[in-house]
Amino acid sequence: MTPALRIHGVVPPVPTPLTATGAVDAAAFQRIFDHLVAGGAHAAFVLGSTGELASLPSGHRGEVIREAVAASAGRIPVLVGIADNCPATSVDLGRLALDLGADAVVAAAPSYYELSSDELQRHFDHLLPQLELPVLLYNMPWLTGHVLDEACLQSALGHPNLIGFKDSSGDLAYLQSMIEIASVRPEVTVLVGNEYLYLSALKLGAHGVVGGGGNIYPSLFRSLQDAFEEGDLDTARAAQARISRLADETYDLTGRPTSVFVTIKAAMAGLGLCEPHMAPPLTPCSADQMDALRLVLAGSDARMPAFPIFAVA
C-alpha cells in the first residue's frame, strides 16, 4: 500500500440511499455520484454519520461500498467509514473496502465506553498498521463522546498510511492546533466537518470540507474552494454566506437531535437523487417538512448555475 493519495477540497459525506423496504438503492447511488461529480466534488465519503453507518444492517456495508465504487467509476476517490466499537470489526471493514476497490478509509473513535487519552492513542496505534488503505482520522466528539487530542494525532502521524485528519468539533482553536501538528507531514491533509466554519478553516490552513450540504449544492461548495485557492476572498465570503444561510434554513427542520442527517437526505430526495427513507431508528421528514425543504431548494439563494441533472420537484 502506498499512501500517495491526497484528499482535499469538497468531500461530501454521502447519505446511504435506501428503498422503502430498506434495501440499498443502487440506482440512486449512480444519480448521487453523477450529481457530485458534475457539481465539482473532489471526493466522496460513504458510511459516515451522514451515511447512517451505525444504523445499517451489517450486510449493507459491503453493498454500500460496492455500489459507491461502481457509481464513482474512478471519477473521484471513495472514502469509507470503518467506525465501530470493536476494533476487529473496523479492521474487517477496512479489508472489505480494499477488496471492493475503495480509495481510503476513515477511522473514528469507539463510542460506547469512555476511554482515556492513552487508551484512544493505543486504539489507533493498534488499528492503523492493520489497515492496508490510506487512512484519515475522524474527530467527531458529538457522536463518539471523545476528543482526539494532540498526543493522539502526533502518534498517528508516525504511521505512514495516515493521510488526513477530519475535525467535526466546531472548535476553531482546536482545529488550528491540529493543523499545526499535522504540518510536520505536509502531505497530510486536514478537513473541517462543520460547513459553517469552511472558509475560516481554510484561512487557518485546512485543505477542504466534509460538509453535508456538499451533497445538495456541490457546485456552491466548489465555488468557495476555488475562490479561496485563487485568492478571491470576496467570492469565497459570499459563497460561505450562502452555505450558512441554506444550512440555517435546512438542518433543524425536524427539531430532533439527528435533524441534520434526516434533512440532508430529504433535500436530496427533493432533487430527485434518492428517496427520503432512513435506516431505523432514525425517521424521515414529514410531508410538511418535505414541502418546507422544497421551498428552500426552489429559492433564489439555493438555485445554483448548475443543478445539472435534476430539477426541483
* Residue 51, domain extent: 9-232
Nearest-angstrom CA–CA distance, 168 and 22 = 28
- For residue 83, which phi and psi values (nearest 5 degrees)? -65, 135
pLDDT of residue 303: 57
**158 occurs within a structural domain:** yes
Identify the band that residue 298 occupies on the pLDDT scale cut at 50, 70 and 90.
confident
pLDDT (mean) for 203-215:
97
148-204 per-position pLDDT tens digit: 889 999 999 999 999 999 999 999 999 999 999 999 999 999 999 999 999 999 999
CA geometry: angle 199, 200, 202, nearest 5 deg: 65
pLDDT of residue 112: 85
Q: Which of 132-146, 174-188, 267-281 has the lowest mean pLDDT?
A: 132-146
- For residue 199, which phi and psi values (nearest 5 degrees)? -65, -40
Reply yes or no on whether the pLDDT at 51 is more than 80: yes
pLDDT (mean) for 23-38:
97
How many domains is the chain built from? 1
63-101 per-position pLDDT tens digit: 999 999 999 999 999 999 999 999 999 999 999 999 999
Q: Which of 302, 312, 107 is nearest to 213 (CA)?
A: 302
Nearest-angstrom CA–CA distance, 267 and 273 = 9
Q: Please compute, for residue 188, the number of CA atoms within 13 A of its CA located in the half-sphere on the CB side.
A: 24
Residues 6+ apart with CB under 8 A from 99: none
**287 occurs within a structural domain:** no
Identify the band that residue 310 occupies on the pLDDT scale cut at 50, 70 and 90.
very low
pLDDT of residue 308: 36
**260 occurs within a structural domain:** no
Which value, to the nearest 10 degrees, does the dihedral of the CA atoms of residues 139, 78, 160, 157 take?
Answer: -20
**289 occurs within a structural domain:** no
Q: Which of 222, 204, 202 is nearest to 213 (CA)?
A: 222
Nearest-angstrom CA–CA distance, 201 and 196 = 9
CATH number at residue 105: 3.20.20.70
Reply yes or no on whether the pLDDT at 129 is more than 50: yes
- Joined together, the cell numbers standing for residue 36 give 457530485
Residue 22 neighbours by CB distance under 10 Å: 14
pLDDT (mean) for 242-256:
93
**259 occurs within a structural domain:** no
pLDDT (mean) for 218-244:
97
**278 occurs within a structural domain:** no
The pTM is what?
0.92
**189 occurs within a structural domain:** yes
Identify the band that residue 111 occupies on the pLDDT scale cut at 50, 70 and 90.
confident
- For residue 17, which phi and psi values (nearest 5 degrees)? -75, 130
- pLDDT averaged over every residue in the chain: 92
Share of the chain above pLDDT 90, in %: 83
140 in helix, strand or coil? coil
Nearest-angstrom CA–CA distance, 260 and 273 = 17
Nearest-angstrom CA–CA distance, 188 and 192 = 14
Reply yes or no on whether the pLDDT at 311 is more than 80: no
Residue 122, CA distances (Å) to 20, 128, 133, 307 in order: 41, 10, 19, 45
